Amino acid sequence: MRKAIFNTHLYAALITGAILIVIAVTGCLLVFELQMDRWLDPKVSYVQPQGEPVPLTRMLARLQSAYPGQKVTEINFGEPDSSVMARIGGHRVFVNPYTGEIIDSRSGEPASFHLRHLHRELMAGKTGSLIVNIVTFALLLQSLSGLYLWWPLKRTTVKLNASWRRISLDLHHAVGFFSCAFICVLSVTGLVKVYGDKLQPLFDRVTGSPTMTRDLPSKVSPASTITIDDAVAIARTRLPGARLARILPPKDKNGSFVVHMKFPDDSTVPGRSWVVVDQYSGSVLSSLDARTAPAGSRIPIINREVHVGGIYGVPTRILAFLAGLAVLLQTATGYLLWWRKLPRSSGARRQRRHESGAAGVGALQGEASAVSLGNRSGDG
C-alpha cells in the first residue's frame, strides 16, 4: 500500500514538474498584477493629478476624433496618478483623465494578459487549460498522499551543516509539511475559479440566491440616450463609497452600460461590484455590491480572494509570492534528488532501492507542494 502510494506520488510529481515551474513563476509575477503593466510602461501609465477629471463625454469625443469610425469598447480607470486606458480599434489608448489629452497608444495586449493566459492555460487554449486543470486536481491528491508519506519521519527542521543531499531532503520534508494546508486550499480554489461559471447555478440553488447577471438589454426607446457621465453618476449613487474601475459602453442599440466599481478592499483589477444601466431611460437594470452580494454570488468572490492571497491585502500577497518561491525551490531540489539517484549500474540500482524511502518522501512532498502552490492564480 505504502509503496503504491509512493510510486504514484513520485511519478505524478516528475511528470508535472516542468508545468509546475511555469505555473509557479507566472503565479509569483501575477501577485504584482495590479502594478505590473504600469511598472513596465511608465511613460503612458502615470499622470500628474491636477484638480477634477474632465467629463467622460469630452474624453470620448477626443478618442472618436483621433480614431474616426471606430468604437470605444472599454474604458479602464486606476489610481489618481494613473492614466485612463481605452480600447478602440484594436489599440490600447492612454488618456490623461485631467486634461482629456491622448498620451500615446499601444497595440496588442499588456504583459499581465500574457502571463494570465500562460498561468491558466499554458498559452495553448482549451488543451492547455485542460492540462492545468488535470494537474490541479492531481495536486490535491498529491498533497494528501504527501502528508501520508511524510508522517513516519515527521521531519520539520533543516540541518544546515549537513551534506547538500541531507539539506535538500530536509527542505522537502519541512517545507512540504508546512505548506500542505495551502496546497489543499489553493488546489480547491483554483478548480472552483476555473469552473466558476458552470458552478454558479449550483451555488445559487444551494444557497437559495437569485441569479445575478450583467447581460441585460436596454429597452429601446425613440428618446435620446443618456451620456456616459450620466451612467457613471447613476452607478455611483447605487454604490456609494466605490470608485470607478471600468466602463463597458453599449455594444449596439440594444446594449446597456456596464459600470464596474471598486471598493477600497477589492484587490481585483476591474472591481467585483457593478451596475447595469439602461442606455435610454437610465434605469438600473441590475447591480451587485461585492460586500453585500447574495451568498451564491459571494462564493466565487471569496474563492478568488483566497486563491490569489488578496484577503488581507499586501501581507497575504507577500505570503503568496513566498509560497511561489518555495514551489521553485522544492521542484528544483526534487528533480536534483531524483536525477542523482538514477541507476548507473546494477549496484547503483540496488543502492537506489535501499535509499529510496527517505529520499522519495522528501522529493514527493516537495513536488506536491509545487503543483498546488504553482496553480495559484491572479486576474482577473
Digit-coded pLDDT (tens) for 62-74: 999 999 989 999 9
Residue pair 78/116 in contact (Cβ under 8 Å)? The answer is: no
The helix or strand, by DSSP H or E, that contains position 272, with its residue range, turns out to be: none
Structure confidence at residue 201 as a pLDDT band (50, 70, 90)? very high
| Residue 18: partners with Cβ closer than 8 Å, 6 or more residues away | none
Structural domain of 259: 213-292
Residues 15 and 128 in one domain: yes
The rounded distance, in Å, linking the Cα atoms of 38 and 362 is 40
Provide the pLDDT for residue 270: 78
- Same domain for 24 and 161? yes
Share of the chain above pLDDT 90, in %: 44
pLDDT score recorded for residue 344: 54
Q: 359 and 260, same structural domain?
A: no
Name the pTM for this structure: 0.79
Position 361 pLDDT exceeds 50: no
Q: Is the pLDDT of residue 16 over 80?
A: yes
Inside any domain, residue 206: no
Tell me: do 49 and 13 sit in the same domain: no
C-alpha grid cell, residue 358: 527517505
CATH code: domain of residue 255 = 3.10.450
Q: Do residues 29 and 49 share a domain? A: no
Query: Which residue among 264, 292, 320 closes a domain?
Result: 292
Count of domains forming the chain: 3
**Which of 198, 115, 82 minimizes the C-alpha distance to 378?**
115
Same structural domain, 90 and 149: no
Once rounded to an integer, what is the mean pLDDT over residues 169-174? 83
Are 187 and 316 in the same domain? Answer: yes
Question: CA 298, CA 266: separation in Å to the nearest integer?
Answer: 13
Q: Are 144 and 184 in contact (CB under 8 A)?
A: yes
Q: Distance of CA 100 to CAs 50, 103, 281, Å? A: 12, 9, 27
Residues 250 and 363 in one domain: no
Residue range 281-336, pLDDT digits in tens: 999 999 999 989 999 999 998 888 888 887 777 888 888 888 888 778 877 877 87
Domain co-membership, 222 together with 354:
no
With contact defined as beta carbons under 8 Å apart, do 172 and 362 qualify? Answer: yes
Q: Which residue has the cell 498533497?
A: 143
Per-residue pLDDT of 239-293, as tens digits, reads 999 999 999 999 999 999 999 999 987 877 778 899 999 999 999 999 999 989 9
